[in-house]
Amino acid sequence: MSIPRLPLKSLDDALAELLGHATTLTGVEQITTFDGDGRVLAQDMVSALHVPPQDNSSMDGYAVRCADVRVAGGVLPVSQRIPAGASGQGLQAGTVARIFTGAPIPAGADAVIMQEECEPLGDAKPDQGKLGSVRIKSVPQPGQWIRRAGEDVTRGAVVLSKGARLTPASQGLAASIGLSTLPVVRRPLVALFSTGDELVMPGDIAPEHMPAGAIYNSNRFFLRSLLRRLGCEVTDFGIVPDRRDATIDALREAALQHDLILTSGGVSVGEEDHIKPAVQTLGELDLWQIAIKPGKPFAYGKIRRAAAPAAGGDMCHFIGLPGNPVSSFVTFLLLVRPFLLRLQGGQRVAPVATAMPAHFDWPRADKRREFLRVRRNAAGGLDLFPNQSSGVLTSAVWGDGVVDNPAGRTILRGDTVQFISFVELMG
């Protein structure tokens, strides 16, 4: 049998094509703001109020009229006390207000003097309601220690945009404008399959009893976790049955209930396996050779649904990842991650790279764009994991990111390279 020559695709072209298929899922869920982390907003969130709602003090101290404090060392009576949560009265001229952080600035006051610069004279008589007087040791600047109303958010402003992926900080911001629930795109439903007759599940066979040629299924573990981190609901079907008809049945069944079927292994050129013909029988399949290392083979397809469920249309996406663990891992991060974020309506799907100095040499240029596993060192540079083979998963554990190295480029110690942190790629 002749091995088909597949077109070599650039990563950018592959990503653009893949994102072109990633129509945002229909279906919006209203979730509690507490559960927003990692989800993608389905609508713009507009603030119905200013944050903070009114001018307030950013210090414990005394609210004053600057006109009353022209020189340091003067003494003024305290006419009221305004703790956080209270609202004071207009500040009488020639007096100051005892005020605490977060308390509203009384009308007429135009500065706060921090308590460290004030000296109460000890003439207060709390039981008689007398607040005493205070010596003011510094001359205030108008506006000092006042947080202005609307300084964080103004009424009517779009605070969080449709397509934004929520973070803990955005949950806090949503809460600060009074939102107890948020509309987010529903979770993608993903069916995960592993392929390969050599695969054994940890726990099924002890290491000392592993038959020759068998290996543990490692991809299943990181793929399931990566999918979950991206907000997916995962049905893990384990290892694909090794018969054609059983594979077709399993995929047809999975397609009915899921938005994406993700497989690892069995997409190499010329490999005999059941997944490819099964997907072709049920829909369509494109095999790509992507010009990256690790991670060359990749498959994208669509499986037609016999019965179209209400939400999700009449097609289920299919993505086949390479089997080599590091290829599978890197390809997931570079292609499947943006695809899944876009399915949820995410706008910012590309990872951000940082320019950093290489503290290693990479003398052998490759024809393909490479993603080298590296780690930041204390000297502000990048160290390289010595074994960059696509089967060496240790490199992805030792490393804290990858260098995105263009095709044909060698690296000399001290060269500036593009570093993409795993934090960027795995969140």
Options 283, 294, 325, 399; binder of ligand AMP; rule CB under 6 A: 325
Verify cis geometry, omega within 30 degrees of 0, for the bond prior to 120. no
Candidates 241-249, 319-327, 338-346, 378-386; binding stretch for ligand AMP (CB under 6 A) = 319-327
Is residue 236 at the binding interface for ligand AMP, with CB under 6 A as the rule?
A: no
As given in the structure block, the two tokens for residue 234 are: 């995962």
Q: Nearer Cβ to Mg ion, position 283 or 323?
A: 323
CA of 79: how far to CAs of 60, 71, 90, 273, 328, in Å? 16, 20, 10, 85, 70
Is residue 297 at the binding interface for Mg ion, with CB under 5 A as the rule?
A: no
Identify any residues that bridge with 208 across adjacent strands, giving them in sequence order. Answer: none
How buried is residue 365: exposed, middle or buried, by Cβ count under 10 Å (0-12/13-18/19+)? middle
Is residue 196 at the binding interface for Mg ion, with CB under 5 A as the rule?
A: yes
Q: Nearer Cβ to ligand AMP, position 93 or 269?
A: 269
Please state the φ and ψ torsions of residue 29, each to the nearest 5 degrees.
-110, 140
Options 271, 286, 383, 424; binder of ligand AMP; rule CB under 6 A: 271
Distance of closest approach, residue 230 Cβ to ligand AMP, in angstroms: 19
Task: Identify which of 326, 325, 348 has the alpha carbon closest to the alpha carbon of residue 338.
Answer: 348
In the chain, count of helices (H) and strands (E)? Answer: 9, 27
Options 61, 188, 265, 301; binder of Mg ion; rule CB under 5 A: 265
Candidates 74-82, 161-169, 318-326, 417-425; binding stretch for ligand AMP (CB under 6 A) = 318-326
As given in the structure block, the two tokens for residue 154 are: 């103004």
Contact assessment for residue 349 and residue 341, using Cβ atoms and an 8 Å cutoff: yes
Candidates 3-11, 48-56, 262-270, 378-386; binding stretch for ligand AMP (CB under 6 A) = 262-270
Contact assessment for residue 278 and residue 251, using Cβ atoms and an 8 Å cutoff: yes
Distance of closest approach, residue 266 Cβ to ligand AMP, in angstroms: 5
Residue whose entry in the numeric block shows the structure tokens 């005394």: 62
Is residue 199 at the binding interface for ligand AMP, with CB under 6 A as the rule?
A: yes
Greatest distance between any 2 Cα atoms in the chain: 102
Is residue 266 at the binding interface for Mg ion, with CB under 5 A as the rule?
A: yes
Is residue 294 at the binding interface for ligand AMP, with CB under 6 A as the rule?
A: no
Q: How far apart are CA 201 and CA 199, in angstroms?
A: 7
Q: Which does 47 bind (CB under 5 to 8 A by kind): Mg ion, ligand AMP, none?
A: none
Q: What angle do CA 345, 40, 290 make, to 5 degrees?
A: 50
Stretch 216-235 residues interacting with ligand AMP (CB under 6 A): 217-220
- Integer-rounded Cα Rg, in Å, for the chain is 31
As given in the structure block, the two tokens for residue 64 are: 């004053």
Distance of closest approach, residue 223 Cβ to ligand AMP, in angstroms: 8
Is residue 24 at the binding interface for ligand AMP, with CB under 6 A as the rule?
A: no
Q: Which does 144 bind (CB under 5 to 8 A by kind): Mg ion, ligand AMP, none?
A: none
Q: How far apart are CA 232 and CA 300, in angstroms?
A: 18
Q: Nearer Cβ to Mg ion, position 76 or 326?
A: 326
Q: Nearer Cβ to ligand AMP, position 80 or 194?
A: 194
Q: Nearer Cβ to Mg ion, position 186 or 276?
A: 276
Q: Which does 320 bind (CB under 5 to 8 A by kind): ligand AMP, Mg ion, none?
A: none
Identify any residues that bridge with 123 across adjacent strands, giving them in sequence order. Answer: none
Contact assessment for residue 336 and residue 14, using Cβ atoms and an 8 Å cutoff: no
Q: Which residues bind ligand AMP (CB under 6 A)?
A: 194, 196, 198-199, 215, 217-220, 264-266, 268, 271, 322-325
> Which residues of this protein are in contact with Mg ion, per CB under 5 A?
196, 265-266, 323
